[in-house]
Chains A and B, each alone.
Chain A
Amino acid sequence: MSETSHADRGNEPHGEVTVDEVMLSAELAGGEGRAGSADVAEYALWLGDDALILSQQLGAWIARAPELEEDVALGNIALDLLGHARSFLRYAGTFDGRTEDDLAYWRDESEFRCAWVFQQPNGDFAQTIARQLAASTYLFELYTALQRSSDETLAAIAAKAVKEVEYHRDHAVQWTLRLAGGTDESRRRMVRAVGDVWPYVGELFRDEPLTDRLDGVAVRPSALQPGFDAVVAAVFAEAGLELPGGPMSSAGGRHGSHFPALGYLLAEMQVLARQHPGVTW
């Protein structure tokens, strides 16, 4: 690492950053790889939709979070997830010639493949944190394993994303500890939020025929559960929270059957692109 002085940077503390000259498409992880089969494209769609829907949800917190600083924190997490979504959707689209925008804006609800936990409404701040804890713990385990995929593009996207979701997990853990150990009110909300979100965790670890067929390319969902359970058990023990013991939802997001809230979320996300086809902004 070379040594620099403050004088070298002049009046430009952030260095030379000019967004208008950056080719955003060139920054997507995974390069120019093309999905080799319909199964691989479908799997990329699963992962891309999970990240896209969670990103869209978190974006709704901007200007509504408890403090300005938390607006920025959730906004940063949302942007990280949008980057993952773009990489996965671009890759998914290479199989049949669709763009990431075609996939994000021109599919209907039944064509989305996101799991239900990502579709759970923001609710209050505690519910968003409970959803973030489940989602980012799962995504960290997933991307850690996916780095070893035999599919080079998926492995490259996972390698870039895993560092980001590790920070998302840290953010959710810190808030879980504070809400659970804060006031009576914050604890009551955190307990209720965990109870509301946890029935949808089971779907994440359900093996599907697609993941069976993609052995070595896809990560086997059930293989991620021990790592997820260990992290959650440690966090819940420190926070004094109990793991909800109720039945898991039969959620079927991977087959296009969705939680009722998804339709409203998609309507808001897609309305501009659909009312003004080809618009740029």
Chain B
Amino acid sequence: MTTPGAADRETWPLWEVFVRAGRGLSHVHAGSLHAPDAEFALRNARDLYTRRGEGTSIWVVPADAITTSDPDSKGAFFESPAGKNYRHASYYTASEGVPHL
């Protein structure tokens, strides 16, 4: 962590913004922004992402705090279950005498 203001063109840290559009919905990623700290990240998110009445609640998370999956290992990581019926419970027949299954 460098001293704030030490570099001439130092930029503010990046924050990811999650907005909940209404009651009963989950927070959904809306975008990202720069802000000097969490309180301003919330205020900037309000100005950037909720001015048309989209939101009832905002989360901001430091982009650094998010661990992402590796895009290069997409093939192995998100391998489709298609053609692997044995992975589904319905593939198996219930044995006789087993109730409540």
Residues of A within 8 A of B (CB): 1, 3-6, 9, 13-15, 17, 67-69, 72-73, 76, 170-171, 174, 178, 182-183, 185-186
Contacts and interface: CB of A to CB of B under 8 A. Distances in A.
A174 B40 contact: yes
A74 to B, nearest CB: 9
A73 B43 contact: yes
A88 B9 CA distance: 42
Interface string B37-80: 10110011001100111100000000000000000000000000
Interface of B: 4-5, 11-12, 21-25, 28, 30, 33-37, 39-40, 43-44, 47-48, 51-54
A183 B52 CA distance: 36
24 contacts: A3-B22, A3-B25, A4-B24, A5-B24, A6-B21, A6-B25, A15-B52, A15-B53, A67-B11, A67-B12, A68-B34, A69-B35, A72-B44, A76-B51, A171-B43, A174-B39, A174-B40, A174-B43, A178-B36, A178-B37, A178-B40, A183-B4, A183-B5, A186-B5
B52 A6 contact: no
| For the complex of A and B, 5 pairs with smallest distance between CB atoms | A3-B24, A183-B5, A69-B44, A14-B52, A73-B47
B44 A73 contact: yes
B51 to A, nearest CB: 7
